[in-house]
Amino acid sequence: MAFAIKVNGNTHNVDADGDTPLLWILRDVLGMTGTKFGCGMALCGACTVHINGEPTRSCITPIDSIGTSEVTTIEAIGKTTAGAKIQKAWLDREVVQCGYCQSGQIMSAAALLASKPHPTDSDINDAMSGNICRCGTYVRIREAIKLAASN
Amino acid sequence: MIIDQHAPIDGSGEVIPAHGLSRRDFLRAGAAAGGGLVLSVSLPFGNGEAEDAFVPNALIRIGGDGQIVLTMPYVEMGQGTYTSIPMLIAEELEVDLKQIRLEHAPPNEKVYINPLLGEQATGNSNAMRGAWQPLRQAGATAKTMLVAAAAKKWNVDPASCRAQNAEILHDATGRKIGYGAVAADAARMPVPDKVALKPPQDFRLIGRPLKRLDTPAKVNGTAVFGIDARPPGVKIATLAQSPAFGGRVKSVDDTAAKAVKGVRQIVRLDDAVAVVADHMGAAKKGLAALVIEWDDGPNAKLNTDDIASVLEKATLTPGAVAQNIGDVEKALAGAQTKVEATYQLPFLAHAAMEPMNCTVHVRRDACEVWVGSQAIARVQKSAAKATGLPLDKVVVHNHLLGGGFGRRLEVDGVIRAVEIAKHVDGPVKVVWTREEDIQHDMYRPHWFDRLSGGLDEKGRPVAWDNRFAGSSVIARYIPAAFNKGLDPDTTEGAIDLAYKLPNMRVQYVRVEPPGIPTAFWRSVGPSHNVFVTESFMDELAAAAKQDPVAFRSALMTESPRAKAVLELAAQKAGWGQPLPERTGRGVSFQFVFGTYMAQIAEVEVATSGAVRVRRVVCAVDCGTAINPDTVQAQIQSGIIFGTTAALYGEITLKNGRVEQTNFDSYQMLRIDEAPSIEVHIVPSSEPPGGMGETGTSAIVPAIANAIFAATGKRLRKMPVDVAMLKQSP
């Protein structure tokens, strides 16, 4: 099946089975490797993208469900106000270690900040507990979200 | 600074024969082919034994254009090495961190291979420990030679010149010249016999919380991990390996798989089947459509309990004596109180966030490999062996690692990818599903430990007898380091304790379990030994009816650094202050990887038995904290890693198959469960200790001891058993 999907403002024509997860279209077909594979079952959040601004696990999102929705990935999240604030806070607070999960962490955090400019600890738990970090950067992720919210 | 992830494979090996040989055999200087100064440095790995021959594994090159390039064998896997290592050179060379460009050492240049381990590897928290002296001396040597070259050019006394910000200055005449302009001349200067290193009070960089250099690319999706390699024309493959270790493929029906859109090829190996496709979506769909019949082989009936009972029995037989002080048997016989306990630790998977993957292109006369590895030379060797090609026909591109934790010291994934690639025309990226990653890991060994202790009439420990059984990873990985039934890793944390014990014996019985491969896992030997040592120390304190901190402190009369961190942690944690019901504090202390650490965990146990780690206070004396922010980050990281293991970590076998599959059955700690963590670093100018692993080994016993304080129940088998901790009505 041929699909036209809009990613970061650009329309791409792709030919794949309709049940193909968006993750593989992004990474293997379009070559946008910033979005990561972690589990394939929406258990870890590494593959998080935004679909019409909503944080979404691309590893279980079939390509035929996207339609005309706008997909935003880590490569373009810095163009949004919330995304840019989160990226800056991530650097200022030195959150990152191995960095593999951080695309997904940043996408979840950017969506949180866009919807709740001043998130509470409980908001942070709700928005971020779907994202696993094996390096254990959680303490700094929490601090960085609060830092971004205060800027 | 630019981090070049794709360093030229042979462009950096252009060292013209050494011009002068330093008296110190870790350092040589020479001219670079393009004009400039090259220093080659031999960094020790592992136990730091002296080498006979000079074999450099790091190069510092100062080009005629002033560009400073460091080619180094250590890899970045999140631990901050890419920042801390250049800091050492920049400090002495008098340049800014930004002026150094870093390259991965290629594996196929003989100069990078270290004969001690037969390879270059990053593990066992030894990067900074090994580099601390040689890299600062290399920086100072290069600076001295550059200054000498400038002084000669100006015909002035080198002592009247100074170096600053990549320039040599002659204050008396106001002249100055950049490093690049004298680099070629510097290569012809004699190598100084010895150079003075800066005293700690003069450090500009070391000891400051500097920003990491690898971070910006990791927040905008541009960082390239192994899994992101995309050589032109690459196909994507995923695979199913024999569910039981040692099994084989009996039959494959690939009719349905071949019909999946995007599937190009099915590769059948002896013990695995791979689906090669245009993208991972098609490969996974194809894999699911395969009908594979397995011959489970010799381990078809193996269960974890079988292994545990073999280990348990092994602890009843004498082992290799790792340490023997005084007369334990006599002391036990004469003890006022005897305490006995057995402990068990489970197999654990690494579960790095980046699933195992490796990209390979096998051609008739060459092989190219793209991977993120902790042991790049081993990658090259294994690919050469698997293809039958000579070593120099195998080119390896190393990448950032999406977590290492010991998993990426192993090359089973590389060998597997080569086996598949041999059947594929063009490059193929083999990506393991998370299920394959967890079910075909090489695991932290399962351990069984039997301890006896004795107290005198005043409650002082007079006997400590520890006999444990399990796998020696070293014996497989570095056979030469396994001697007389012992190796330095398996016993670290069990022997050479900071505690003064008058009668102490530690024995190790090596048992390699069948049907499950074992490997290094973050905090390696201490991940096991610190849990056992610190749990049993707590049991002795309880038997002596003494406070666990005071009991330990009284045994640290000969180790003031140990005592200081223990007391600092206790003070910062509010040790002894009242806590709510079913909440407790537990302490642990360790001296491993050259670093002193004490942790105090505050744990709440719900009436359901569920455990919540609320707060962890850590005091650390790691000698010179090169980058204190990285030290703090590594401790935070290690504590989360160890808390995951304590609360959830367990790999079990049933009928030869690993029962856990993904993050639902092999759980990870999440942000809403993460404790608050406080890190207190003891100021020190001693040589640095290792930091990548210390937090992990220390937290597990601290949690177990806190659970004991909260409930009176002693956990002798990890992970936490919620049912056991449920409050009886």
Q: What is the 3-state secondary structure (H, E, C) of B216-269?
A: HHHCCCCCCEHHHCCCCCCEEEEEEECCECCCEEEEEECHHHHCCCCEEEEEEC
- Indicate if B343 and B236 belong to the same structural domain: no
Q: Mapping DSSP to helix (H, G, I), strand (E, B) and coil, where does residue B494 land? A: coil
- Indicate if A81 and A146 belong to the same structural domain: yes
Distance from CA of A57 to the nearest CA of B (A): 15
pLDDT of residue B120: 58
Which 7-36 residues of chain A touch chain B by CB within 8 A? 16-17, 19-21, 23-25, 27-29, 31-36
Instruction: Flag whether residue B236 sits within 8 Å of chain A, measured between CB atoms.
Output: yes
Distance from CA of B360 to the nearest CA of A (A): 16
- Indicate if B114 and B141 belong to the same structural domain: yes
Cβ contact (<8 Å) for A98 and B353? Answer: yes
Instruction: Flag whether residue B522 sits within 8 Å of chain A, measured between CB atoms.
Output: no
Rg (CA), chain A: 15
Identify whether B54 is part of a domain: yes
Cβ contact (<8 Å) for A24 and B402? Answer: no
Residues of A in contact with B281 (CB under 8 A): 16-17, 20-21, 23-25, 28
- Indicate if A108 and A134 belong to the same structural domain: yes
| Nearest one of B91, B78, B70 to B122, comparing CA atoms | B78
- Indicate if B192 and B77 belong to the same structural domain: yes
Cβ contact (<8 Å) for A41 and B639? Answer: no
- Indicate if A11 and A68 belong to the same structural domain: yes
Q: By the 8 A CB rule, do B557 and B500 touch? A: yes
- Does a cis peptide bond (omega within 30 degrees of 0) precede residue B719? yes
Identify whether B661 is part of a domain: yes
Q: How far is CA B727 from CA B582, B601, B710, B723, in A?
A: 10, 21, 11, 9
pLDDT tens sequence across B363-386:
999 999 999 998 888 999 999 999
Distance from CA of B60 to the nearest CA of A (A): 25
Number of domains in chain A: 2
| Selected residue of A74, A98, A141, A145 to mutate for chain B interface (largest B Cβ count, 10 A) | A98
Cα gap A83→A53, rounded to integer Å: 11
pLDDT of residue B35: 78
Cβ contact (<8 Å) for A94 and B280? Answer: no
Q: How far is CA B338 from CA A1, B335, B454, B459, B717, in A?
A: 74, 6, 5, 11, 21
Cβ contact (<8 Å) for B285 and A74? Answer: no
pLDDT of residue B80: 81
* Residue B67 φ/ψ, nearest 5 degrees: -70, 130
pLDDT tens sequence across A13-59:
999 999 999 999 999 999 999 999 999 999 999 999 999 999 999 99
Cα gap B375→B410, rounded to integer Å: 7
Cα gap A148→A151, rounded to integer Å: 5
Of the candidates A23, A43, A72, which is a domain's last residue? Answer: A72
Which 186-215 residues of chain B touch chain A by CB within 8 A? 211-212, 214-215
| Nearest one of B216, B256, B223, B665 to B435, comparing CA atoms | B665
Cα gap B326→B64, rounded to integer Å: 63
Q: By the 8 A CB rule, do B401 and B370 touch? A: no
pLDDT of residue B306: 97
Cα gap B505→B468, rounded to integer Å: 11
Residues of B in contact with A38 (CB under 8 A): 353-355, 434
Six-digit token pair at B246? 């040692």
- Indicate if A10 and A36 belong to the same structural domain: yes
What is the full DSSP assignment across B556-588? -TT-HHHHHHHHHHHHHHTTTS---TTEEEEEE
Identify whether B437 is part of a domain: no
Residues of A in contact with B224 (CB under 8 A): 33
- Indicate if A92 and A58 belong to the same structural domain: no
- Indicate if B635 and B702 belong to the same structural domain: yes
Categorise residue B523: left if φ over 0, alpha if ψ from -120 to 50, beta otherwise.
left
Distance from CA of A114 to the nearest CA of B (A): 17
**Residue listed under structure tokens 């202390």:** B589
pLDDT of residue A65: 98
Q: What is the 3-state secondary structure (H, E, C) of A90-145?
A: HHHCCCCCCCCCHHHHHHHHHHHHHHCCCCCHHHHHHHHCCCCCCCCCHHHHHHHH
Q: Within chain B, which residues score under 70 in pLDDT?
A: 1-26, 44-57, 106-125
Instruction: Flag whether residue B233 sits within 8 Å of chain A, measured between CB atoms.
Output: no
Q: Which CATH number fits the domain that encloses residue B260? A: 3.30.365.10
Cβ contact (<8 Å) for A91 and B352? Answer: no
- Indicate if B287 and B417 belong to the same structural domain: yes
* CB-defined contacts A:B, below 8 A: 198
Q: Mapping DSSP to helix (H, G, I), strand (E, B) and coil, where does residue B281 land? A: helix
| Nearest one of B85, B43, B38, B82 to B62, comparing CA atoms | B38
Which 80-99 residues of chain B touch chain A by CB within 8 A? 80
- Indicate if A13 and A42 belong to the same structural domain: yes
Number of domains in chain B: 3
- Indicate if A62 and A87 belong to the same structural domain: no
- Indicate if B25 and B101 belong to the same structural domain: yes
Q: Which CATH number fits the domain that encloses residue A46? A: 3.10.20.30
Instruction: Flag whether residue B155 sits within 8 Å of chain A, measured between CB atoms.
Output: no
Nearest to A43 among B214, B400, B662 (CB): B662
Query: Listing from the earlier edge strand, what are the strands of the sheet with B337-345?
Result: B320-325, B504-510, B461-470, B447-455, B337-345
Q: Residue A84 sits in which domain range?
A: 77-150
- Indicate if A13 and A65 belong to the same structural domain: yes
Nearest to B221 among A37, A103, A128 (CB): A103
Q: By the 8 A CB rule, do B463 and B325 touch? A: no
Rg (CA), chain B: 27
* Residue A134 φ/ψ, nearest 5 degrees: -75, -25
Q: By the 8 A CB rule, do A149 and A113 touch? A: yes
Query: Listing from the earlier edge strand, what are the strands of the sheet with A54-57?
Result: A10-15, A2-7, A70-72, A48-51, A54-57
- Indicate if A81 and A66 belong to the same structural domain: no
Cα gap B231→B233, rounded to integer Å: 6
Residues of B in contact with A28 (CB under 8 A): 236, 278-281
Cβ contact (<8 Å) for A38 and B353? Answer: yes
Residues of A in contact with B284 (CB under 8 A): 40
Nearest to B219 among A19, A73, A102 (CB): A102
Which 654-673 residues of chain B touch chain A by CB within 8 A? 662-664, 668-672
Distance from CA of A107 to the nearest CA of B (A): 10
Distance from CA of B75 to the nearest CA of A (A): 11
- Indicate if B682 and B633 belong to the same structural domain: yes
Cβ contact (<8 Å) for B281 and A101? Answer: no
Average pLDDT over residues A75-86: 98
| Nearest one of B628, B287, B260 to B435, comparing CA atoms | B287
Q: Residue B396 sits in which domain range?
A: 226-297+356-431
Which 592-631 residues of chain B touch chain A by CB within 8 A? 629
What torsion do the CA atoms of B72, B73, B77, B79 make, to the nearest 10 degrees?
Answer: -70
What torsion do the CA atoms of B86, B90, B95, B99 make, to the nearest 10 degrees?
Answer: -10
Identify whether B393 is part of a domain: yes
Instruction: Flag whether residue A48 sits within 8 Å of chain B, measured between CB atoms.
Output: no
pLDDT of residue B115: 35
- Indicate if B544 and B571 belong to the same structural domain: yes
Instruction: Flag whether residue B530 sits within 8 Å of chain A, measured between CB atoms.
Output: no
Residues of A in contact with B640 (CB under 8 A): 133, 135-136, 138
- Indicate if B389 and B456 belong to the same structural domain: no
Distance from CA of A132 to the nearest CA of B (A): 6
Q: How far is CA B665 from CA B220, B356, B405, B434, in A?
A: 31, 19, 20, 12
Nearest to A136 among B230, B285, B641 (CB): B641
Q: Which CATH number fits the domain that encloses residue A85? A: 1.10.150.120
| Selected residue of A12, A139, A145, A147 to mutate for chain B interface (largest B Cβ count, 10 A) | A139
End-to-end CA distance of chain B: 62
* Residue B695 φ/ψ, nearest 5 degrees: -60, -35
| Selected residue of A1, A49, A94, A97 to mutate for chain B interface (largest B Cβ count, 10 A) | A97
Cα gap A70→A78, rounded to integer Å: 16
The chain B residue lying nearest A90, using CA atoms, is B219
Q: By the 8 A CB rule, do A82 and A116 touch? A: no
- Indicate if A37 and A101 belong to the same structural domain: no
Identify whether B438 is part of a domain: no
Q: What is the DSSP letter of B431?
A: E
Identify whether B26 is part of a domain: yes
The chain B residue lying nearest A34, using CA atoms, is B221
- Indicate if B566 and B461 belong to the same structural domain: yes
Of the candidates A72, A93, A122, which is a domain's last residue? Answer: A72
Of the candidates B201, B218, B235, which is a domain's last residue? Answer: B218
Cβ contact (<8 Å) for A24 and B280? Answer: yes
* Residue B367 φ/ψ, nearest 5 degrees: -145, 135
Instruction: Flag whether residue B79 sits within 8 Å of chain A, measured between CB atoms.
Output: yes
Cβ contact (<8 Å) for A40 and B433? Answer: yes
pLDDT tens sequence across B415-443:
999 999 999 999 999 999 999 999 999 99
Instruction: Flag whether residue A3 sits within 8 Å of chain B, measured between CB atoms.
Output: no
Q: Where does A25-65 show beta strands of DSSP type E?
A: 48-51, 54-57
Instruction: Flag whether residue B226 sits within 8 Å of chain A, measured between CB atoms.
Output: no
pLDDT of residue B106: 67
Which 331-390 residues of chain B touch chain A by CB within 8 A? 351-355
Six-digit token pair at B150? 């400038």
- Indicate if A67 and A97 belong to the same structural domain: no
- Indicate if B98 and B232 belong to the same structural domain: no
pLDDT of residue B548: 98
Of the candidates A72, A104, A123, which is a domain's last residue? Answer: A72
Residue A71, pLDDT > 50, answer yes
Which 65-124 residues of chain A touch chain B by CB within 8 A? 73-75, 77-78, 87, 90-91, 94, 96-103, 106, 124
- Indicate if A81 and A50 belong to the same structural domain: no
**Residue listed under structure tokens 């060998």:** B415
pLDDT tens sequence across A97-110:
999 999 999 999 99
pLDDT of residue B23: 38
- Indicate if B453 and B379 belong to the same structural domain: no
